[in-house]
């Protein structure tokens, strides 16, 4: 089975969108997970609620909210355009933002669980050895929570690849710009004689999912070996 240029385009776009979405949201995800797991502050529940909201809302609603906020006329969108010349509406970067927002709760949940599971007494031990808090975080906390971070990244990545509703609402379905794999598949199903193309994309989606799963299994095993010696 050789891939057509259109399929290659959709796959490449999907991977680019998902990759950037995960990459950019990861530091924020770790920070928010840390905040939620380790600190009690006024607004803790509110932050927790906001982070989880995209998980509960229909993706189309999320997309619409993004359109209102980040569209060219939206308050944030206009500001980004004026000051940085960044346009998110109807661009692949916008698709990445939509994917990131929708997958964020999954990432935060996984990382938070692993933070809560790490032994804080090891951090205390590191402090008594003279290490300042940031160093302790980088050399003790972060390595110990890596398995959870990995899980979060895989979950988020998969969710990004599958993103449909928020994407099509926020950045529409533009070939070569925002037509990711799910959108391409949907498009095929809407035209006469497109079933063949839809079927091929389905197989590709399954292959990508399996590859991601396999890769994460291997990584997880490597991490485990590092932790347990």
Stretch that binds other proteins, among 5-13, 50-58, 132-140, 205-213 (CB under 8 A): 132-140
Question: Longest Cα pair distance anywhere in the chain, in angstroms?
Answer: 70
Residue 140 interacts with other proteins (CB under 8 A): yes or no: yes
Cα separation, 39 vs 115, in Å, equals 12
Q: Which of 16, 64, 91, 143 binds other proteins (CB under 8 A)?
A: 143
Please report how many Cα atoms fall inside a 13 Å half-sphere around the Cα of residue 212, on the Cβ side.
22
Q: Which of 5, 27, 82, 128 binds other proteins (CB under 8 A)?
A: 128
Q: How far is the CB of 223 from other proteins (least distance, A)?
A: 9
Residue 121 interacts with other proteins (CB under 8 A): yes or no: yes
Stretch that binds other proteins, among 35-43, 74-82, 138-146, 203-211 (CB under 8 A): 138-146
Binding-residue pattern over the window 199 to 228 for other proteins, x denoting contact by CB under 8 A: ---------------------------xxx
Residue 126 interacts with other proteins (CB under 8 A): yes or no: yes
Q: How far is the CB of 119 from other proteins (least distance, A)?
A: 8
Closest to other proteins by CB, 122 vs 214, is 122
Q: How far is the CB of 207 from other proteins (least distance, A)?
A: 33
The burial of 204, by beta-carbon neighbours within 10 Å (0-12 exposed, 13-18 middle, 19 or more buried), is given as buried
CA-nearest of 205, 196, 96 to 156 is: 96
Name the H helices within the chain. 5-38, 44-56, 59-70, 75-84, 92-117, 120-128, 133-136, 142-162, 165-171, 181-190, 195-228
Residue 134 interacts with other proteins (CB under 8 A): yes or no: no
Written as six digits, the tokens of 129 are: 């050895």
For 174, list phi and psi in degrees, rounded to 5: -105, 120
Where on the chain is the footprint of other proteins (CB under 8 A)? 119, 121-122, 124-133, 139-140, 143-144, 226-229
């Amino acid at each position: 089975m050789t891939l057509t240029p259109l399929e290659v385009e959709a796959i490449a776009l999907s991977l680019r969108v998902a990759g950037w979405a995960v990459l950019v949201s990861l530091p924020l995800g770790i920070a928010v997970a840390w905040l939620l797991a380790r600190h009690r502050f006024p607004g803790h529940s509110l932050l927790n609620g906001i982070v989880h909201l995209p998980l509960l809302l229909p993706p189309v609603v999320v997309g619409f909210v993004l359109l209102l906020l980040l569209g060219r006329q939206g308050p944030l969108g206009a500001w980004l355009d004026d000051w940085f010349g960044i346009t998110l509406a109807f661009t692949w970067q916008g698709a990445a933002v939509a994917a990131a927002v929708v997958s964020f709760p999954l990432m935060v949940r996984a990382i938070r669980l692993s933070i809560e599971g790490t032994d804080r007494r090891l951090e205390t031990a590191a402090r008594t050895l003279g290490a300042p808090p940031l160093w302790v975080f980088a050399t003790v906390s972060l390595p110990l929570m890596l398995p959870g971070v990995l899980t979060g990244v895989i979950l988020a990545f998969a969710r990004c690849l599958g993103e449909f509703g928020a994407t099509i609402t926020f950045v529409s379905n533009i070939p070569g710009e925002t037509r990711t794999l799910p959108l391409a598949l949907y498009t095929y199903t809407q035209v006469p004689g497109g079933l063949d193309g839809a079927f091929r994309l389905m197989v590709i989606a399954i292959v990508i999912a399996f590859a991601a799963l396999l890769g994460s299994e291997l990584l997880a095993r490597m991490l485990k070996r590092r932790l347990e010696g």
